[in-house]
Homo-oligomer: A and B are copies of this chain.
């Protein structure tokens, strides 16, 4: 039963993707703007559906953090609509000639962007992923199969209905966006294992458990990241005030996002100069500090860090701090404990920054800026479907441009190959 329903969705998605690839940018943007309008018009319906989800979530004993992610209010509904409109306003990612050259035999070769095809989105409690992810996929000409969490099933369906309204308004096959019509858990397994014929890429959005499962079980390429153990490294040539401001922002601006710093590394030669100010700012902001012996000797309020701390993504107001002998040791620490997401060096020394850029193998490496800039919006992409720490296809923030493939268009005048 599940298999049959899922395969039917797959066939419909493939057909819709073929048609979607031939729509004009105006048509896709009309669909997006109409969906935003439908979300505003149907805000009451969405909020009522969400209230039902919240009631059953409370009955099922969901935790506060999950209930907060699940909860919609007028502001969040408006945020969804506004987010879709931002995506509609982005440049068209399709049909771009990203490279072109001529061959000595006269062939003119162009590499032109095209949609990836069909993208599967597997997510958890946040109903706004329905709107965000589908909008970016639609912008880039990709059909989507959405599989939201069972706890947000009613909310996501209400949003999904508005997306289909938008597609219909623009004369686009509404199967360009589909949602798995059941909360049956076996649907996820089927999506991961048996839809390779119809799904080109899977994007998981949610906690580590979900993402690890998708990465482990998926039989199609996955774009996503498991965790963000991000580092700020205070080099000996760091300005003290800048070091303090960047650490405070990287750790405490929002502690629950993947770009939040989890470990601070500081050069031994600068530890006494830099750590007191950094620690005071963190402690003032309510952050717990776990440090090595040198850190606890300089910062009396710091607890002792153990080996586990260096490998932990706290996603909380806790930071680990380690003193390193030099930049090589800092890079070695990041290589050993980091997750390849985002790392920042604070230094006035250009050569040190260049060494850090070259030798730290992460999706994003920064100098003199907060790790919390690891975000598609902050990168100027307008929106992102997530941050990829894999190395294949896309790395770092994944926006509409990264949800494309390409084809080669070759113009000749009768050439045959010798």
Alpha-carbon separation in the docked complex, A375 to B109 (Å): 12
8 A Cβ contacts from A146-204 to B: 200-201
Q: Return the contact of A239 from the options B363, B414, B416 (Cβ within 8 A).
A: B414
Q: A65-73, A121-129, A387-395: which lies at the B interface?
A: A387-395
Q: Is the CB of A242 within 8 A of B414?
A: yes
8 A Cβ contacts from A389-418 to B: 390-393, 395-397, 405-417
Q: Is the CB of B22 within 8 A of A411?
A: no
Number of this chain's copies in the assembly equals 2
Q: A411 to chain B: closest CB distance in Å?
A: 5
Alpha-carbon separation in the docked complex, A416 to B18 (Å): 43
Alpha-carbon separation in the docked complex, A63 to B364 (Å): 52
Q: Is the CB of B221 within 8 A of A364?
A: no
8 A Cβ contacts from A49-86 to B: none
Q: Return the contact of A410 from the options B253, B364, B395, B409 (Cβ within 8 A).
A: B364
If over half of A's interface residues share one DSSP class (helix, strand or loop), that class is named, otherwise mixed; here it is mixed
Alpha-carbon separation in the docked complex, A179 to B413 (Å): 45
Q: A37-45, A270-278, A365-373: which lies at the B interface?
A: A365-373
Instruction: Select from chain B the residue with minimum beta-carbon distance to A404.
Output: B391
Q: Is the CB of B368 within 8 A of A412?
A: yes
Q: Return the contact of A417 from the options B249, B395, B396 (Cβ within 8 A).
A: B249
* Inter-chain contacts of A372 with B (CB < 8 A): 416-417
Alpha-carbon separation in the docked complex, A390 to B221 (Å): 10
Beyond A361-B18, A417-B253, whether A107 also contacts B412 by CB under 8 A is no
Beyond A364-B410, A378-B103, whether A22 also contacts B369 by CB under 8 A is no
Q: Return the contact of A373 from the options B368, B375, B410 (Cβ within 8 A).
A: B410
Instruction: Select from chain B the residue with minimum beta-carbon distance to A103.
Output: B380
Alpha-carbon separation in the docked complex, A169 to B76 (Å): 62
8 A Cβ contacts from A10-47 to B: 18, 21-22
Beyond A249-B417, A392-B201, A392-B393, whether A362 also contacts B407 by CB under 8 A is yes
Q: Is the CB of A357 within 8 A of B409?
A: yes
* Inter-chain contacts of A249 with B (CB < 8 A): 416-417
* Inter-chain contacts of A405 with B (CB < 8 A): 391-392, 395
- A136 at interface, CB cutoff 8 A: no
**A244-257 interface bits toward B, Cβ cutoff 8 Å, 1 = contact, 0 = none:** 01101110010000
Q: Is the CB of A367 within 8 A of B410?
A: yes
Alpha-carbon separation in the docked complex, A172 to B365 (Å): 26
Most buried by B among A358, A372, A416: A416
Most buried by B among A362, A364, A405: A405
Q: Is the CB of A246 within 8 A of B392?
A: no
Alpha-carbon separation in the docked complex, A114 to B360 (Å): 11
Q: Is the CB of A414 within 8 A of B369?
A: yes
8 A Cβ contacts from A111-147 to B: 114, 116-117
Alpha-carbon separation in the docked complex, A409 to B396 (Å): 11
Q: A393 to chain B: closest CB distance in Å?
A: 4
* Inter-chain contacts of A248 with B (CB < 8 A): 416
8 A Cβ contacts from A274-305 to B: none
Alpha-carbon separation in the docked complex, A361 to B113 (Å): 11
Q: Is the CB of A366 within 8 A of B239?
A: no
Q: A220 to chain B: closest CB distance in Å?
A: 8
Q: Is the CB of B415 within 8 A of A358?
A: no
Q: Is the CB of B364 within 8 A of A408?
A: yes
- A359 at interface, CB cutoff 8 A: yes
> Could you write out 26 A-B pairs with CB less than 8 Å apart?
A18-B335, A18-B361, A22-B359, A103-B380, A107-B373, A109-B380, A114-B361, A116-B392, A117-B391, A239-B414, A242-B414, A246-B414, A246-B416, A249-B416, A361-B407, A364-B410, A365-B408, A365-B410, A366-B412, A367-B412, A368-B414, A368-B415, A369-B414, A369-B416, A373-B415, A392-B405
